[in-house]
Amino acid sequence: MKTQIVKKNDFTSILIALSIVFAGIVITFLSFPYAKGFGSILILGGIIALSMSKKTLVHSPSGNKIMSYTYFFPPVEKEKIKQICASSQFHQLKSISNSENGLQMDIYLSKNGSYGAIQLYEYIPYKYEICSPLYEYEGNDAAALAEFIKTLSA
């Protein structure tokens, strides 16, 4: 199953970086000699900003931005959490105590709440590895996941 979450470039940061490069070119070639250094700095800064422009997660069918949340649970609760995710009974997660490490749960929600996904990772010394399928939710299940996130944040 192919995921509906894709990474796309953030065009506002690209546009700003290109504007800085263009301003540097204009200052370098159309101004007084003492401003060439400033123009060169702007060009270099714009190129660095362009290379560091970030990508955002997007729900591909709707184009909505995806927000991500990360929570940790004790590793012994892995099977129970998998069962909760498979049955979309998110309110049951409140009965499981949070942990500082162990089982990592990444939750992805579209801004309008129409799509949600959960991925579980298990800590294997020195890194986290995927230990569950990607649970994807739409409609009422996605709305329930969004409501659960709101109760955790409050």
pLDDT band of residue 1 (cuts 50, 70, 90) is very low
Task: Give the mean model confidence (pLDDT) for residues 50-69.
Answer: 79
Instruction: Determine the Cα angle at 47 with ends 41 and 53, to 5°.
Output: 130
**52: helix, coil or strand?**
coil
pLDDT at site 154:
56
End-to-end CA distance of the chain: 34
pLDDT at site 9:
73
For the chain, the domains span 5-59, 66-153
